[in-house]
Amino acid sequence: MTRQRGDVVVETRGLCMHFGGVRAVDEVDFTLFDRELRCLIGPNGAGKSTFFKCLTGQLTPTAGDVMIRGQAMTGAEPFEIASLGVGIKTQVPNVFDGLSAEENIWISARRWHDDRRARTLTAETIERLRLGDIRRTQLGRLAHGQRQWVELGMVVAAEPWLVLLDEPAAGMTHEETYRTAELIEEINKTAALIVVEHDMQFIRMISRQVTLFHEGGILMEDTMDAISADKRAREVYLGHRA
Protein backbone atom coordinates (compact mmCIF):
# COMPACT_ATOMS: atom_id res chain seq x y z
CA MET A 1 0.00 0.00 0.00
CA THR A 2 1.44 3.37 -0.91
CA ARG A 3 0.73 6.32 1.29
CA GLN A 4 -0.62 9.42 -0.26
CA ARG A 5 -0.74 12.95 0.93
CA GLY A 6 -4.17 13.42 2.40
CA ASP A 7 -4.52 9.99 4.02
CA VAL A 8 -5.60 10.09 7.64
CA VAL A 9 -2.66 8.95 9.79
CA VAL A 10 -3.93 9.68 13.30
CA GLU A 11 -7.52 9.70 14.37
CA THR A 12 -9.13 9.74 17.79
CA ARG A 13 -12.82 9.35 18.43
CA GLY A 14 -14.44 10.27 21.73
CA LEU A 15 -11.09 9.94 23.44
CA CYS A 16 -11.34 10.30 27.24
CA MET A 17 -8.72 10.10 29.94
CA HIS A 18 -10.20 10.64 33.36
CA PHE A 19 -8.18 10.48 36.57
CA GLY A 20 -10.86 9.96 39.17
CA GLY A 21 -12.85 13.16 38.88
CA VAL A 22 -10.27 14.97 36.76
CA ARG A 23 -11.26 14.97 33.11
CA ALA A 24 -7.77 15.52 31.71
CA VAL A 25 -8.92 14.59 28.21
CA ASP A 26 -12.62 14.58 27.47
CA GLU A 27 -14.35 13.41 24.28
CA VAL A 28 -11.63 14.47 21.89
CA ASP A 29 -12.15 13.90 18.16
CA PHE A 30 -8.92 14.61 16.38
CA THR A 31 -7.67 13.98 12.87
CA LEU A 32 -4.20 14.33 11.41
CA PHE A 33 -3.45 13.89 7.72
CA ASP A 34 -0.28 12.56 6.22
CA ARG A 35 2.59 15.05 5.93
CA GLU A 36 0.68 17.47 8.06
CA LEU A 37 2.45 19.57 10.67
CA ARG A 38 0.10 20.23 13.54
CA CYS A 39 0.75 22.19 16.69
CA LEU A 40 -1.14 21.49 19.88
CA ILE A 41 -1.33 24.52 22.11
CA GLY A 42 -3.24 25.41 25.21
CA PRO A 43 -2.70 26.67 28.74
CA ASN A 44 -0.95 24.58 31.36
CA GLY A 45 -3.12 21.68 32.47
CA ALA A 46 -5.25 21.79 29.31
CA GLY A 47 -4.61 18.09 28.76
CA LYS A 48 -2.08 18.25 25.91
CA SER A 49 0.44 15.89 27.47
CA THR A 50 -2.28 13.51 28.60
CA PHE A 51 -3.67 13.42 25.08
CA PHE A 52 -0.12 12.84 23.83
CA LYS A 53 0.37 9.96 26.26
CA CYS A 54 -2.83 8.32 25.05
CA LEU A 55 -1.53 8.49 21.49
CA THR A 56 1.86 7.00 22.44
CA GLY A 57 0.53 4.19 24.62
CA GLN A 58 1.91 5.59 27.86
CA LEU A 59 -1.65 5.84 29.14
CA THR A 60 -4.62 3.63 28.38
CA PRO A 61 -7.59 5.90 27.66
CA THR A 62 -10.63 5.42 29.85
CA ALA A 63 -12.89 5.62 26.80
CA GLY A 64 -12.73 6.22 23.05
CA ASP A 65 -10.47 5.03 20.28
CA VAL A 66 -7.06 5.80 18.88
CA MET A 67 -6.42 4.82 15.27
CA ILE A 68 -3.06 5.10 13.60
CA ARG A 69 -3.15 4.70 9.84
CA GLY A 70 -6.52 3.08 10.24
CA GLN A 71 -5.28 0.51 12.74
CA ALA A 72 -6.96 0.43 16.14
CA MET A 73 -4.19 1.15 18.65
CA THR A 74 -6.23 1.97 21.75
CA GLY A 75 -4.43 0.67 24.81
CA ALA A 76 -1.42 -0.58 22.82
CA GLU A 77 1.98 -0.69 24.50
CA PRO A 78 4.36 2.17 23.68
CA PHE A 79 6.70 -0.20 21.85
CA GLU A 80 3.86 -1.33 19.63
CA ILE A 81 3.08 2.26 18.65
CA ALA A 82 6.77 3.00 18.07
CA SER A 83 7.09 -0.20 16.06
CA LEU A 84 4.65 1.20 13.51
CA GLY A 85 7.36 3.70 12.63
CA VAL A 86 6.34 6.47 14.99
CA GLY A 87 9.03 8.71 16.49
CA ILE A 88 8.25 10.02 19.96
CA LYS A 89 9.74 12.64 22.23
CA THR A 90 8.19 13.11 25.65
CA GLN A 91 7.87 16.36 27.60
CA VAL A 92 10.32 15.23 30.28
CA PRO A 93 13.59 14.43 28.49
CA ASN A 94 13.87 10.67 28.18
CA VAL A 95 17.39 9.67 27.20
CA PHE A 96 19.92 7.04 28.19
CA ASP A 97 21.89 9.16 30.65
CA GLY A 98 24.70 6.70 31.27
CA LEU A 99 25.46 6.23 27.57
CA SER A 100 27.21 8.38 24.99
CA ALA A 101 25.29 10.49 22.49
CA GLU A 102 26.48 8.12 19.78
CA GLU A 103 25.21 5.02 21.62
CA ASN A 104 21.87 6.72 22.29
CA ILE A 105 21.35 7.30 18.59
CA TRP A 106 22.71 3.90 17.57
CA ILE A 107 20.18 2.17 19.81
CA SER A 108 17.44 4.01 17.95
CA ALA A 109 18.78 3.24 14.47
CA ARG A 110 19.52 -0.39 15.36
CA ARG A 111 15.83 -1.00 16.01
CA TRP A 112 15.26 -0.81 12.27
CA HIS A 113 18.53 -1.73 10.62
CA ASP A 114 21.51 -4.08 10.86
CA ASP A 115 24.63 -2.90 12.65
CA ARG A 116 26.39 -1.56 9.56
CA ARG A 117 23.46 0.55 8.37
CA ALA A 118 22.73 1.64 11.95
CA ARG A 119 26.28 2.95 12.31
CA THR A 120 26.04 4.85 9.05
CA LEU A 121 22.72 6.35 10.09
CA THR A 122 24.15 7.27 13.48
CA ALA A 123 27.08 9.06 11.86
CA GLU A 124 24.73 10.87 9.47
CA THR A 125 22.41 11.93 12.27
CA ILE A 126 25.30 13.22 14.35
CA GLU A 127 26.49 15.26 11.41
CA ARG A 128 23.02 16.54 10.58
CA LEU A 129 22.30 17.63 14.15
CA ARG A 130 25.85 18.90 14.67
CA LEU A 131 26.48 16.67 17.66
CA GLY A 132 30.06 15.88 16.64
CA ASP A 133 31.62 17.57 19.67
CA ILE A 134 29.59 15.59 22.16
CA ARG A 135 29.29 12.27 20.39
CA ARG A 136 31.34 10.44 23.00
CA THR A 137 30.09 12.37 26.01
CA GLN A 138 27.80 10.69 28.52
CA LEU A 139 24.39 12.29 28.23
CA GLY A 140 24.13 12.78 31.97
CA ARG A 141 26.92 15.35 31.73
CA LEU A 142 25.27 17.45 29.06
CA ALA A 143 23.13 20.54 29.46
CA HIS A 144 19.37 20.21 29.30
CA GLY A 145 19.10 21.64 25.79
CA GLN A 146 21.77 19.31 24.44
CA ARG A 147 20.06 16.28 25.91
CA GLN A 148 16.82 17.35 24.23
CA TRP A 149 18.76 17.69 21.04
CA VAL A 150 20.15 14.16 21.30
CA GLU A 151 16.63 12.93 21.94
CA LEU A 152 15.57 14.59 18.70
CA GLY A 153 18.49 12.80 17.09
CA MET A 154 17.10 9.50 18.33
CA VAL A 155 13.74 10.35 16.80
CA VAL A 156 15.29 11.33 13.47
CA ALA A 157 17.61 8.31 13.27
CA ALA A 158 14.63 5.95 13.30
CA GLU A 159 13.42 7.55 10.05
CA PRO A 160 9.80 7.72 11.25
CA TRP A 161 6.82 8.56 9.04
CA LEU A 162 4.92 10.02 11.98
CA VAL A 163 6.56 12.14 14.67
CA LEU A 164 5.06 13.13 18.01
CA LEU A 165 6.92 15.80 19.99
CA ASP A 166 5.89 17.10 23.40
CA GLU A 167 7.44 20.52 24.02
CA PRO A 168 10.61 19.95 21.97
CA ALA A 169 11.91 23.47 22.53
CA ALA A 170 11.42 23.59 26.29
CA GLY A 171 14.56 24.73 28.06
CA MET A 172 16.43 25.46 24.86
CA THR A 173 18.38 28.59 24.03
CA HIS A 174 17.15 30.91 21.25
CA GLU A 175 19.68 29.49 18.86
CA GLU A 176 18.68 25.92 19.71
CA THR A 177 14.98 26.78 19.43
CA TYR A 178 15.53 28.23 16.00
CA ARG A 179 17.40 25.15 14.87
CA THR A 180 14.69 22.92 16.29
CA ALA A 181 12.14 24.76 14.18
CA GLU A 182 14.36 24.21 11.14
CA LEU A 183 14.71 20.53 11.96
CA ILE A 184 10.96 20.16 12.33
CA GLU A 185 10.45 21.68 8.89
CA GLU A 186 12.96 19.21 7.53
CA ILE A 187 11.35 16.22 9.25
CA ASN A 188 8.05 17.37 7.82
CA LYS A 189 9.35 16.70 4.30
CA THR A 190 9.04 12.98 4.95
CA ALA A 191 6.75 12.69 7.97
CA ALA A 192 3.59 13.98 9.56
CA LEU A 193 4.08 15.70 12.91
CA ILE A 194 2.20 16.60 16.03
CA VAL A 195 4.08 19.17 18.08
CA VAL A 196 2.87 20.15 21.54
CA GLU A 197 4.33 23.54 22.32
CA HIS A 198 4.12 26.42 24.70
CA ASP A 199 6.48 28.91 23.14
CA MET A 200 4.35 31.17 20.90
CA GLN A 201 7.29 32.44 18.90
CA PHE A 202 8.28 28.89 18.17
CA ILE A 203 4.77 28.02 17.03
CA ARG A 204 4.74 31.00 14.72
CA MET A 205 8.00 29.78 13.20
CA ILE A 206 6.66 26.35 12.27
CA SER A 207 2.91 26.31 12.33
CA ARG A 208 0.35 25.82 9.66
CA GLN A 209 -2.66 24.32 11.44
CA VAL A 210 -3.04 24.70 15.19
CA THR A 211 -5.27 22.81 17.61
CA LEU A 212 -6.11 24.71 20.77
CA PHE A 213 -6.77 22.60 23.86
CA HIS A 214 -8.73 23.90 26.78
CA GLU A 215 -9.92 21.99 29.84
CA GLY A 216 -9.45 18.59 28.26
CA GLY A 217 -11.21 19.37 24.99
CA ILE A 218 -10.47 20.98 21.63
CA LEU A 219 -11.58 24.60 21.70
CA MET A 220 -10.54 25.57 18.18
CA GLU A 221 -8.70 24.26 15.20
CA ASP A 222 -7.40 26.83 12.75
CA THR A 223 -4.34 28.72 11.55
CA MET A 224 -2.25 30.57 14.10
CA ASP A 225 -3.37 33.89 12.71
CA ALA A 226 -7.03 33.03 13.03
CA ILE A 227 -6.50 31.77 16.56
CA SER A 228 -4.62 34.92 17.53
CA ALA A 229 -7.51 36.98 16.22
CA ASP A 230 -10.16 34.98 18.02
CA LYS A 231 -11.51 36.53 21.19
CA ARG A 232 -12.31 33.32 23.04
CA ALA A 233 -8.92 31.84 22.24
CA ARG A 234 -7.19 34.99 23.44
CA GLU A 235 -9.05 34.78 26.71
CA VAL A 236 -8.14 31.20 27.50
CA TYR A 237 -4.64 31.20 26.21
CA LEU A 238 -3.06 34.22 24.67
CA GLY A 239 -4.45 36.66 27.21
CA HIS A 240 -3.53 34.22 29.90
CA ARG A 241 0.08 34.34 28.80
CA ALA A 242 0.32 38.11 28.34
Partner 1 sequence: MNSSLLRQMRSTFFFALLGVVFMFAAPQVLQLFTIINLTTAIALAVLALSLALIWGYGGILCFGQVAFFGLGAYVYTISAINFGGSTWAVLMAVLVTSAFAAALGYFIFYGRVSDVYLGVITLTVTLIFFSLIRRTSGPEYKIGNALLGGFNGVSSPPINLPWDSGSFLFPEHVFYVAMAVLILCYVFVGWLVNTKFGRVCVAIRENELRAELLGYDTRLYKLGIFTIGAGIAALGGVLFCNGVGRITPDVFSLYNAALTIIWVIVGGRGTLIGPIGATFALFYLTSALGGQSLLNNNLVLGIILIIFVLLVPKGVAPTVVDWIASRRKKTPRRARRRRGARAEGME
11: left (phi over 0), alpha (psi -120 to 50) or beta: beta
Q: Which stretch binds partner 1 (CB under 8 A): 34-42, 111-119, 124-132, 218-226?
A: 111-119
- Phi–psi pair at 126, nearest 5 degrees: -65, -40
Estimate to the nearest angstrom the gap between the alpha carbon of 13 and the chain centroid: 20
Site for ligand ADP in 33-72 (CB under 6 A): 42, 44-50
Check residue 19 for interaction with ligand ADP (CB under 6 A): yes
**Closer CB to ligand ADP, residue 49 or residue 104?**
49
Give CA separation, 60 vs 17, 22, 44, 56, 75, in Å: 8, 15, 21, 9, 5
Site for Mg ion in 75-134 (CB under 5 A): 91
**Closer CB to ligand ADP, residue 34 or residue 221?**
221
In this structure, the strands spanning 209-214 and 37-41 are: parallel
Q: What is Dmax (Cα atoms) for the chain?
A: 55
**Closer CB to ligand ADP, residue 105 or residue 164?**
164
Q: Which stretch binds ligand ADP (CB under 6 A): 6-14, 17-25, 72-80, 127-135?
A: 17-25
**What's the one-letter identity of residue 68?**
I
Q: Which positions lie near partner 1, rule CB under 8 A?
A: 56, 58, 77-79, 82-83, 88, 90, 94-99, 103-104, 106-108, 110-112, 115, 154, 158
